[in-house]
Amino acid sequence: MSPVRRGSDLPIHNRLQVLRAERGLTRVQLAEAVEVNPQTIGALERGDHYPSLDLAFRLCDVFGLPVEAVFSREPFTPLSSRVYHQGERT
């Protein structure tokens, strides 16, 4: 299964690298879990390719998260920025 090339007008951002690191998974382990090659995981993490809908669901199943927690049209902000700026007043 081949990933779809990334578009510049409507990019899809993801948290794959962070989620993989949090769970202590290598690219090889994640690739085996979703039945793709490790190069595909690397390309997805770098944003070089979009996952197919089927692959996106399989990735989300590995992490036990809904699609919107892993993929977004908007860049994800670091969790630390939300935690540490939460108490500030504007």
pLDDT exceeds cutoff 50 at 2: no
User: Which residues pair with residue 14 across a beta bridge?
Assistant: 71
CATH code of 25's domain: 1.10.260.40
Domain assignment of residue 23, given as a range: 4-84
pLDDT band for position 72 (cuts 50, 70, 90): very high
Q: What is the mean pLDDT of residues 32-60?
A: 97
pLDDT band for position 85 (cuts 50, 70, 90): low
Secondary element (H or E) of residue 24: none
* Reported pTM: 0.79
- Output the pLDDT for position 1: 44
Residue 90 lies in a domain: no
Residue 75 lies in a domain: yes
DSSP state of 77: P
Burial 68-78 (b: 16+ CB within 10 A, else e): eebbeeeeeee
Q: How far is CA 44 from the centre of its chain?
A: 7
